[in-house]
Amino acid sequence: MLQIKNICKKYVTGGLTQQALNDVTFNLRDSEFVAILGQSGSGKTTLLNIIGGLDRYDSGDIVINSVSTKKYSNRDWDSYRNHTIGFVFQSYNLIPHQSILANVELALTISGISKSERRKRAKEALEKMGLGSHLHKRPNQMSGGQMQRVAIARALVNDPDILLADEPTGALDSETSVQVMELLKEVAKDRLVVMVTHNPELAEEYASRIIKLHDGRILSDTNPYEVDETRLAPPEHKNMGKASMSISTALSLSFNNLKTKKGRTLLTSFAGSIGIIGIALILSLSNGINAYIDDIQKDTMSSYPIAIEAQSLDLSSLLAAGRQSGISDDADHELDGVYSNSSDMELAKSATTSIKENNLTEFKKYLDIQDSEIHQYVGENGIIYSYDVKFDTFAYDPEGELINTDGSEFTSGNTSAMTGGMPMGGFSLGSMTMGNLTSTSKFEELLPGTQGNLISAAVTDNYELLYGNWPKAYNEVVLVLDENNEISTSVLYELGILPSAEYKEVLEKISKGEEISFEGHKWNYEDISNQTFYILPESDYYMELENGVFDYTAEDRDSLKTLLKDSIELKVSGIIKPEEDASYTAISGNIGYTKALTDALIERTNNSPVVKAQEATPEINVTNGMSFSPKTDEVKIEETIKYLSGLNLSDKAAVATTILTSSPENNQNNSKEAQNTGADIPSQGQTGSAGAGISSEMNEEGLAAMLDAYLLEPDKETLLKLYDTYIQAGSYDDNMSSFGVVSLDAPSSISIYADSFEDKDGISASIEDYNKTAGKENQITYTDFVGLLMSSITTIINVISYVLIAFVAVSLIVSSIMIGIITFISVLERTKEIGVLRAIGASKRNITQVFNAETFIVGSISGLLGVGITCLLLLPINSVIHAVLDTTAVNAALPVTSGFVLIVLSMALTLFAGLIPAKKAAGKDPVIALRSE
Ligand code: ADP
Ligand code: MG
């Protein structure tokens, strides 16, 4: 039983107040067919909407089965509409994009009924209306009568107690009107039907009761229902429970809804995805470029570490001086006379002052502290300490001839002139410059790896192993070929792979300017790997004589062969060449050995007899038995006489020649060698020219006898000069260093590797900080080659990065706006649907849910679509990049996490953009929403 008590409702529009209902009171039976008649504007629809809970009354009360609705919450009204009321409208209000079956199902969906049950009941309801064969038609494919029957089926599918129909026949012809009226009459048998109409005949014929309205008041009632209020229980408030709809229902509702308009959804999603595609593409590009830049940085840094030499040439200050003193276009004086220009002298001055000694021992102490600031910037390749390990390497040529691989034996050869006999280490231009002006050695230590690896990944990644294995032991080396699998012929000769006799011949012909043709050679990898090298550290050359003095035997071929028997044998374990797109190609030697060999050589030197002997007698020079620092000239003379008497015949002759020419200064150029070797005095050539007149007339024996005689009555001056020339053999330290002793605390150079320019700058800054704390004499200078080369490139890279970031930001904003607009339009479009949903019991929250679910789905699809399309687009884009840049190093690729984030972002953006319209939609007055066409 429904009691309508003193209901008033007025609308205020502008200044005009319209009393739509004015104190309307009547009761409705549980089962009757009531027709409400009245002119247009008399308040019929308003009354019906209030009874149906779509609209709220201003005053009065509606009592439903003794329950007052005064305290009804929105949720109670929603539930009431959903469970108790069925609405039929004049304009059918079917949702056009859903099949009639889905339209009918909708009411059940909101009630939270299972899918199969929904389907069954919707079908039954439609079959009852005689529409069983039209289930999958769209509303616009049906006639008006049919559509109204669908609306009635929808109203009845929930089996409501009350059916409210607002001019259900208003848009129908008389014949179909009769059909609909019949239907309603049938329905009214077991429930209350309230029908608004302005057709009195139809009302008269079918309704069981007619209420006439005029200007919001009841004019007449043909069958009033009087209730004895006193016998009824007093009205009380009861909670109705909620019209429930789970999130999954909302999602599936939206999904189904979207499924029925696939094309539209796809287009919407695509439009939304354009922004995502933009972002994804730029991300991919910047990702590719960044990876490329990182790679380049890393590669550059692995080829060009910060190298600090024991002796360094401050190239940057030299270059600065060069620039300053370079031919200036603008003179800073009038052109009115003759001026001096000292730029060349400035340059010379800065060239000498630019050479700096670095105390690497102190610096290494700093580096060895693991907490040092510098360590956070050190890259994958770590810090590499190089040591000046002096050694010679020998090999037998195919004809069994023993040759020193430094090429020093081919004296007439201009190729070997630069390296032959030149002491290694110290300051050498070859190791200072980027390129390879002078090949310092054919043997080169391969960049050691970190964590105990013999070889750095920078080497193994950039060099291709053509044959065999990478060295695993100290006595294994690799042969390094160039990109074309070639080795220079001169190197092949000097390594003893080609016969040395032939080389001598060739060199001779070259020097004589004769015609020669060079034939090409080819070896199997295996054959060429059979070459064995014998390595002798400097200390091995010192052989102990019977008198306890150590003799330097480097020039003695016979003892050399004996020495080689005990030497370290090097095997070629593999053959490598640079990869085609290698970035690290810093190996300039032909034979690469590992740090293990360096360590082995250092150890062998430290344990050699000569070093042990020198260590045992630090006062005495073990190479000649003289003390390092004689106190007086007398001792010096004594020692000189002792020394000269002990010489062999030819050496004596040489000294005699020197004395006879009375110009020991002539031999100054040999002094270094004399110091090193002690007893060895070149007996031919160099001294020959000066003393030619005498020596040619005398044989060695005569000259030696002359020296012996001279020593009995020597001239002190001359002897002291001879002492300075031959005997004064430096110091203990000089000796140790000529034996090749290397202290692990005193590297000859330190290479610090960074992985990026930024880290490299960090390392430079750390070194500067170190210099601030270190004493003046311990300060470190070095040349920052990469800094010199790369400073402009770094700026370019930064600019590119910023531009890309700006692009991403812009496309993000554009994309959000786009998605927002699209969602907004989509919501606006469905205003009518919202009204319908509210009429059949959807709560505001349900509406928000449905729309949020929809935008969420659209957002997901646009995200997936965007990422998917991007991935597809990247294929042609990458081939274009590769073609344009002519490199495969730049690869635009969307990182998986970025892809994921973009999809989530798209969902979030769409959801956010749809939130406001969805809220707005939910807040719409259902009455107004329904009135909108
Ligand atoms: P009927 O259905 O009998 O034609 P209505 O119930 O629709 O009449 O309208 C009753 C009166 O209330 C009319 O004068 C109408 O103009 C007015 N009215 C209805 N709805 C609104 C509204 N939302 N705002 C202002 N006036 C309204
Ligand atoms: Mg009306």
What would the 3-class secondary structure string for 870-917 be?
Answer: HHHHHHHHHHHHHHHHCCCCCCCCCCHHHHHHHHHHHHHHHHHHHHHH
| Amino acid 163: pLDDT | 93
CA dist., res. 532 & res. 204, Å (int)? 122
In tens, the pLDDT along 216-275 reads 999 999 999 888 776 666 665 555 555 566 677 677 767 877 777 788 788 878 877 887
The first and second tokens of residue 777, run together, are: 């004499």
SS3 for 148? helix
Distance 738 CA to ligand 1 centre (A): 115
Q: Considering the domain boundaries, does residue 360 fall inside one?
A: no
Long-range contacts of 458-463 (CB under 8 A, 24+ apart): 458/299, 458/302, 458/303, 458/380, 458/381, 458/584, 459/584, 459/587, 459/592, 461/579, 461/584, 462/299, 462/578, 462/579, 462/582, 462/583, 462/584, 462/585, 463/576, 463/577, 463/578, 463/579, 463/582, 463/587
Burial class (CB in 10 A: 0-12, 13-18, 19+), 637: middle
Query: Using an 8 Å Cβ cutoff, are 441 and 591 in contact?
Result: no
Number of domains composing the chain: 4
Q: Is 46 in the pocket of ligand 1 (CB under 6 A)?
A: yes
Q: Is 557 found in the same domain as 469?
A: yes
Q: Considering the domain boundaries, does residue 465 fall inside one?
A: yes
Q: Is 263 found in the same domain as 237?
A: no
Query: What are the E-state strand segments in 406-547?
Result: 443-445, 463-468, 476-480, 532-537, 542-544
Distance 839 CA to ligand 2 centre (A): 16
Q: Is 587 found in the same domain as 510?
A: yes
| Amino acid 692: pLDDT | 43
Q: Considering the domain boundaries, does residue 790 fall inside one?
A: no
Q: Considering the domain boundaries, does residue 287 fall inside one?
A: yes
Distance 931 CA to ligand 2 centre (A): 10
Give the environment of ion ligand 2: residues with CB less than 5 A.
45
Separation in Å, CA 447 to CA 390, 403, 441, 450, 594: 18, 27, 15, 10, 8
Distance 10 CA to ligand 1 centre (A): 9
Residues 6+ apart with CB under 8 A from 800: 289
Q: Is 161 found in the same domain as 17?
A: yes
CA dist., res. 684 & res. 718, Å (int)? 22
| Residue of the CA atom closest to atom 2 of ligand 1 | 45
* 684, 702, 728 - which closes a domain: 728
Pocket test for ligand 1, best of 42, 166, 195 (most atoms within 8 A of CB): 42
| Amino acid 316: pLDDT | 63
Task: Give the single-character DSSP code of 375.
Answer: G
Q: Is 11 in the pocket of ligand 1 (CB under 6 A)?
A: yes
Q: Is 195 found in the same domain as 47?
A: yes
* Predicted TM-score (pTM) of this structure: 0.55
Query: Using an 8 Å Cβ cutoff, are 360 and 308 in contact?
Result: yes
Query: Using an 8 Å Cβ cutoff, are 548 and 620 in contact?
Result: no
Q: Looking at ligand 1, which atom is closest to the CA of residue 13?
A: 25
Residues 6+ apart with CB under 8 A from 809: none
Q: Is 693 found in the same domain as 597?
A: no
Specify which residues 59 forms β-bridges with.
Answer: 8
Query: Using an 8 Å Cβ cutoff, are 404 and 541 in contact?
Result: no
CATH of the domain at 136: 3.40.50.300
Helix 844-885 crosses helix 247-259 at what angle (to 10 degrees)?
A: 60
Radius of gyration, CA atoms only, the chain: 52
**Domain, as residue range, for 157:** 2-241
CA dist., res. 421 & res. 423, Å (int)? 6
Instruction: Return the ∠ at Cα 346 (arms to 340 and 348), rounded to 5°.
Output: 125
Q: Is 255 found in the same domain as 184?
A: no
Specify which residues 192 forms β-bridges with.
Answer: 32, 162
Spans in the chain with pLDDT lower than 70: 230-246, 249, 253, 312-331, 351-354, 411-440, 630-631, 662-698, 727-729, 786-794, 797, 801, 812, 819, 823, 932-933
Separation in Å, CA 29 to CA 4, 33, 64, 187, 623: 11, 9, 11, 14, 133
For residue 383, report the phi and psi dihedrals to the nearest 5 degrees.
Answer: -110, 125
Distance 167 CA to ligand 1 centre (A): 14
Separation in Å, CA 383 to CA 351, 444, 722: 29, 18, 47
Pocket test for ligand 1, best of 21, 45, 164 (most atoms within 8 A of CB): 45
Q: Is 160 found in the same domain as 24?
A: yes
* 728, 745, 776 - which closes a domain: 728
Distance 44 CA to ligand 1 centre (A): 8
Q: Considering the domain boundaries, does residue 447 fall inside one?
A: yes
* 616, 650, 677 - which closes a domain: 616
Q: Considering the domain boundaries, does residue 856 fall inside one?
A: yes
In the chain, the amino acid numbered 923 is G
Q: Is 639 found in the same domain as 586?
A: no
Q: Is 446 found in the same domain as 546?
A: yes
Q: Is 637 found in the same domain as 610?
A: no
The first and second tokens of residue 190, run together, are: 């077991």
Q: Considering the domain boundaries, does residue 122 fall inside one?
A: yes
CA dist., res. 719 & res. 643, Å (int)? 11
Nearest Cα residue to 150 out of 183, 178, 175: 183
Query: Using an 8 Å Cβ cutoff, are 691 and 658 in contact?
Result: yes
Length of the chain: 933
Distance 42 CA to ligand 2 centre (A): 8
Question: Which residue is it, tokens 């056009």?
Answer: 96
Q: How many CA atoms lie within 13 A of 135 on its CB side?
A: 13
| Residue of the CA atom closest to atom 17 of ligand 1 | 20
| Amino acid 677: pLDDT | 43
| Amino acid 842: pLDDT | 81
Q: Is 40 in the pocket of ligand 1 (CB under 6 A)?
A: yes
Q: Considering the domain boundaries, does residue 751 fall inside one?
A: no
Q: Is 28 found in the same domain as 119?
A: yes
Q: Looking at ligand 1, which atom is closest to the CA of residue 44?
A: 3
